[in-house]
A and B are shown apart, each in its own frame.
Chain A
Amino acid sequence: MTLVFSLAIAALFAVGAFLMLRRDLIRLIAGMIMIGNAANLFIMASALRRGRAAVLPGNGDEMADPLVQALVLTAIVISFATAAMALVIVYRVYTSHYSMDLTELSAAEEEQSERDEPESGDLVEQDIEEDIEEMPDDAKVGVLA
């Protein structure tokens, strides 16, 4: 049983990791959901005991660990909510960029940082000269003197 669990977790995690390395944003989110489910399965696998369902156990029956089931329920709800949140953000990214491609997003990011740093690559001395030119005239005298 432990082997089945670990194989299933490994398969889910591998699929998730593979999808997360794709360029398509939807695939990326799908990968995130897969990895989240691998974690949920891992919690189930970390149960201290296996046995009958914890609801109304008969006498003498080995009972399954109820705590991990409570944990995994909480974790499923949380991962569901975050997945919905992530999809909303992907939608907002799509409506503002008209693209679902990661390379185009990073191109937009590059463009932004170039706009932030127009003089990147210049020497600091040139920078100071520019600053001095931008100063009001009375301040300039003080700096140059």
Chain B
Amino acid sequence: MIALPLGILMFGALGSALLDGTRRRNGWLAAVILLAAIIATTWLGWDVYHHGTREMAVGGWDQGVGITLRVDMVGIIFAVLCQVVLLGSLIYEVVSDVGARIFPSLVLFLAVGLTGLTFTGDAFNFYVFFEISMMASYILVNYGETPRQFRAAFVFITVNLLGSVLFLIGIAGIYHTTGFLDMVRIREQMPLVQENPAILTATIIFVAFCVKLGLFPFHFWLPTVYTGTRPAVAAMLSGALANIGTYGLIRFGIDIFPRELEAASMVLIVLGSASIVYGGVQALSRHAPAEVLAYSAIGQVGYIMIALAFAGPAGLAAVILYSVLNSINKAVLFLSISLRGWVATTALAIGAFSVAGIPPVGGFFGKFVMFDLAVQNESLVLVALIFIGSLLSIVYMFQMYRRRIATPELEEDVIDGWGVQAVSLVLALSLVGIGIYPEPMLNLIQVAAESVPKGFTP
């Protein structure tokens, strides 16, 4: 049952690699496969919700010998989130005509990687799935095939390959110090490891994930890549692929290195604050909409980092909620940014409201939970910081919105049509849905946050 979503995606990706993706029929076929995987994952999620964490050893090996697949609520939430964002972007591209044969298949491979890494319970297997998704996205960044996309792809592959190598070194360090690759056993063994090797390994892994996330000192690659790629690919990168960073930090930070995370909480808060302010100020000073969004992405990651610093169930719930909302926000904004027409403009407005955190839209709850967290921890500085961050995001979002509707035609490759506009609007309406009726979502995240074992309490 755990293998079902992975199986659907894996065989679907291989099968659609043989078909000509530029034909609309094959594009829709890939979308149906992705939808089937979403349904299978949700079904699995239903089971996990009622019966707790599920696990299995692959290849018919005994438990403890074979590679473990382990699914808990956190994994399910991130898997479904990534798949939904990918599905939205895929349909968007299919409706507005796919330009490359391999595109639908690559999206499915990206989904394989992302679903796999949220399902796995083995540190090295995590790396393998991580590389599958990175490989697919290296090729996806080239999509569009203009000199600009090639430059973006080059920057992307250089920086992210270094990040992956760092992560690999971190895993080798974990294996050498604990003697296990299974995450549960690593967690049991970790308190016995001496302080220095543990801190070194934790730092290496932290840097590797921050490169993926685009946190402030590791952000330099992000604007070039997000502005250089096609809108649908930018939506996938910021809405789905960046979740590797958040999920990895939850899995490895809160789960495996709780002691080190606690020791580093001040570092996380400082980096997060720097990210919020830097991203906000840079976004304010940019004119091109895609560039504003790229810097806004750097700023939003800062909130996730601050929530992570508080750990504990409340902090973890804030991390999950914020990254879910942030992913959908970014997908909506990147998809609607290059469209014209009132439907897409409505979607853009909803996305902008959500980033700014204005009540009827989902983003409000992200900001609300952050405020709540800061108030509970009686940290005046953080309350002020989050206030400033929100203010900056309101200003740059509306500046961007105004500029977008005030300048009639600024890009040469404006996509038009009802279908694409509808896709961005549907994603945007899901944000409104979360904003109006957030209880199921909050409940799910609460359950997920409590299912992760707590190494320490703040």
Residues of A within 8 A of B359 (CB): none
> Considering the complex, which residues of chain A in the window 23-45 have a beta carbon less than 8 Å from any beta carbon of chain B?
25, 28, 32, 35-36, 38-39, 42-43, 45
- Of the listed residues A46, A93, A105, A134, the one surrounded by the most CB atoms of chain B closer than 10 A to its CB is A46
CB distance from B203 to the nearest CB of A (A): 15
Q: Are B172 and A42 interface neighbours, CB within 8 A?
A: yes
> Considering the complex, which residues of chain A in the window 75-97 have a beta carbon less than 8 Å from any beta carbon of chain B?
75, 78-79, 81-82, 85-86, 89-90, 92-93, 96-97
Residues of B within 8 A of A59 (CB): none
Residue A101 interfacial (CB < 8 Å): no
CB distance from A25 to the nearest CB of B (A): 7
Q: Are A71 and B124 interface neighbours, CB within 8 A?
A: yes
Q: How far is the CA of A45 from the CA of B172 in the complex (A)?
A: 9
Residues of A within 8 A of B131 (CB): 78, 82
Stretch at the interface among B21-29, B101-109, B247-255, B284-292: B284-292
B-contact 0/1 string along A1-42, CB 8 Å cutoff:
000000000000000000010000100100010011011001
Query: Dominant SS at the B interface?
Result: helix
Task: Select B287's contact among A38, A89, A117, beta carbons within 8 Å.
Answer: A117
Residues of A within 8 A of B402 (CB): 131
Task: Select B138's contact among A36, A89, A131, beta carbons within 8 Å.
Answer: A89
Q: Are A42 and B151 interface neighbours, CB within 8 A?
A: no
Q: Are A28 and B176 interface neighbours, CB within 8 A?
A: no
Q: Are A35 and B151 interface neighbours, CB within 8 A?
A: no
Residue A64 interfacial (CB < 8 Å): no
A-contact 0/1 string along B383-402, CB 8 Å cutoff:
00000000000000000001
Q: How far is the CA of A113 from the CA of B127 in the complex (A)?
A: 35
Residue A135 interfacial (CB < 8 Å): yes
CB distance from A53 to the nearest CB of B (A): 20
CB distance from A143 to the nearest CB of B (A): 10
Residue A74 interfacial (CB < 8 Å): yes
- Known: A43-B168, A71-B124, A96-B147. Contact between A85 and B138, CB under 8 A? yes
Residues of B within 8 A of A116 (CB): 227, 287-288, 291
Q: Are A32 and B406 interface neighbours, CB within 8 A?
A: no
CB distance from A58 to the nearest CB of B (A): 23
Q: How far is the CA of A117 from the CA of B282 in the complex (A)?
A: 14
Q: Are B161 and A82 interface neighbours, CB within 8 A?
A: yes
Q: How far is the CA of A39 from the CA of B166 in the complex (A)?
A: 8
Smallest Cβ-Cβ distance to A29: which chain B residue: B158
How many chain A residues touch the partner (CB < 8 A)?
A: 44
Residues of B within 8 A of A109 (CB): 151, 224
Residue B60 interfacial (CB < 8 Å): no
Task: Select B150's contact among A48, A79, A93, beta carbons within 8 Å.
Answer: A93
Q: Are A25 and B169 interface neighbours, CB within 8 A?
A: no
Residues of A within 8 A of B169 (CB): 39, 42
Smallest Cβ-Cβ distance to B130: which chain A residue: A78
Smallest Cβ-Cβ distance to B224: which chain A residue: A109
Residues of A within 8 A of B287 (CB): 116-117, 119-120
CB distance from A114 to the nearest CB of B (A): 11
Interface size class of B (residues with CB under 8 A): 35 or more
Residues of B within 8 A of A108 (CB): 147, 151
Task: Select B175's contact among A25, A46, A90, beta carbons within 8 Å.
Answer: A46
Residues of B within 8 A of A63 (CB): none
Q: Are B158 and A32 interface neighbours, CB within 8 A?
A: yes
Q: Are A135 and B176 interface neighbours, CB within 8 A?
A: no
Smallest Cβ-Cβ distance to B291: which chain A residue: A116
Q: Are B165 and A36 interface neighbours, CB within 8 A?
A: yes
Q: How far is the CA of A67 from the CA of B135 in the complex (A)?
A: 25
Residues of B within 8 A of A127 (CB): 403
Residue B179 interfacial (CB < 8 Å): yes
Q: Are A78 and B224 interface neighbours, CB within 8 A?
A: no
Q: Are A32 and B150 interface neighbours, CB within 8 A?
A: no
Residues of B within 8 A of A35 (CB): 162, 165
Q: Are B150 and A85 interface neighbours, CB within 8 A?
A: no
CB distance from A86 to the nearest CB of B (A): 5
Q: Are B150 and A112 interface neighbours, CB within 8 A?
A: no
Smallest Cβ-Cβ distance to A74: which chain B residue: B128
Task: Select A32's contact among B162, B288, B291, B407, beta carbons within 8 Å.
Answer: B162
CB distance from B256 to the nearest CB of A (A): 16
Q: Are A74 and B162 interface neighbours, CB within 8 A?
A: no
Q: How far is the CA of A92 from the CA of B73 in the complex (A)?
A: 42
Q: Are B138 and A134 interface neighbours, CB within 8 A?
A: no
Q: Are A75 and B168 interface neighbours, CB within 8 A?
A: yes
- Known: A42-B169, A46-B175. Contact between A131 and B406, CB under 8 A? yes
Task: Select B157's contact among A43, A78, A86, beta carbons within 8 Å.
Answer: A86
Beyond A35-B165, A108-B151, 6 extra complex contacts between A and B, CB < 8 Å: A20-B158, A43-B175, A74-B128, A78-B128, A97-B150, A105-B154
What 6 A-B pairs have minimum CB-CB distances, sorted nearest first?
A46-B176, A116-B288, A131-B406, A96-B147, A46-B172, A117-B287
17 contacts between A and B (CB under 8 A): A32-B158, A39-B168, A46-B175, A47-B176, A48-B176, A48-B179, A67-B175, A85-B139, A89-B150, A93-B150, A96-B146, A97-B151, A105-B154, A109-B224, A113-B288, A116-B288, A131-B407
Residues of chain A touching chain B, judged by Cβ–Cβ distance below 8 Å, are 20, 25, 28, 32, 35-36, 38-39, 42-43, 45-48, 67-68, 71, 74-75, 78-79, 81-82, 85-86, 89-90, 92-93, 96-97, 105, 108-109, 112-113, 116-117, 119-120, 127, 131, 134-135
